[in-house]
Structure 1
Amino acid sequence: MNQDVYNCIAQVKEGSTTAFYQLFNTWKDPLFGYALKLCRTRDMAEEAVQEVFMRIWMHREKLDPSQNIQAYLYTAIRNSVFNSLKKAAIERRLKSGVSYHQSDTDNTTEEKISAADLHRAKDQAISQLPPQRKLIFQLSRMEGLSQQQIALKLGISTNTVKDQIVKANRFLRTQLKY
């Protein structure tokens, strides 16, 4: 194994954000390309890369610098994409089942929804967000942290935080439409 790679992983394990950014910048594009080949959607590929690197940072103390980082990263991306695809398939089946059952019932769209029902729907929609996006959304909306505070806390850029909040809001708006 290349000594530079070994040192980089060892530094990430010790909590070096500089080494983490170096690792991220080295591998984000090749991993994105691989994820895109697997899932064929840019959003899912981006989410897979973000999720893998978020997990690496959150569990950095478990990293083993002597392991083949390339094999580890590609396996992690593959697993992340496959899990997302499985989740998407389950959601499609659930939605089609709900649509089928709704057509059999009295479907008045002008019915008012109670606050408790809306709250449950919102919580369910939030639970469907990818892990990093969910965490960023919760830190922003529920804990009231600024984008800069979230970026510092998670060791990511403010642009990434802003992008994740925008995507979370867009997803929640589509999920909560009636």
Structure 2
Amino acid sequence: MTRDQSDLLLFEAVALGDEAAFELLFKLYYSPLCRYVQNMVNDHMQAQELVSDLFLKIWTKREDIQIHSTVRGYFYLAARNMAINQIKQKKQESLSLQDANLQLEAIQENPLEILISEEVIQEWESRISQLPAQRQKIFRMNKLEGKRHEEIAEELSLSVKTVRNHVQLALRSLSTLSAYLIGNLLS
């Protein structure tokens, strides 16, 4: 079993309220996430606070979080977003425009990351558009518009179970995307 698979199993247990699984994920990722965030915010204490807040948010929203790639990827993306939000908030509160620009430059993506992100988005969109029309519509409403299964079911006059099944089938169809992209990027 790979690290990504074991992390996903741990996260599934967390979603069910397993505190031991949550503690294990915390121990695995807290320090690396702190280092990652510290590189963006340039403040060790603030990085620890942001990562602690991230884990608190993950625990409180554990039942609603759906991971579509890897737990590691989800954690790092969430930490990056929190750091960016913190930087933006600081900018609005007290930083001069020049200081804010310096901090934003520190977290700019390099050209390779931008290229990879664009390829991922294009491939993701291509794969979504290949889904059956109803499944595609439900998936977009859930994942891209952020609507809950119940809202979609009511809006489309379907059962919640039908909506849930469409989302799960769409995710299964899209699950090969990571392997495809890794293979293409490395070749």
Q: TM-score, normalised by structure 2?
A: 0.47
Q: TM-score, normalised by structure 1?
A: 0.49
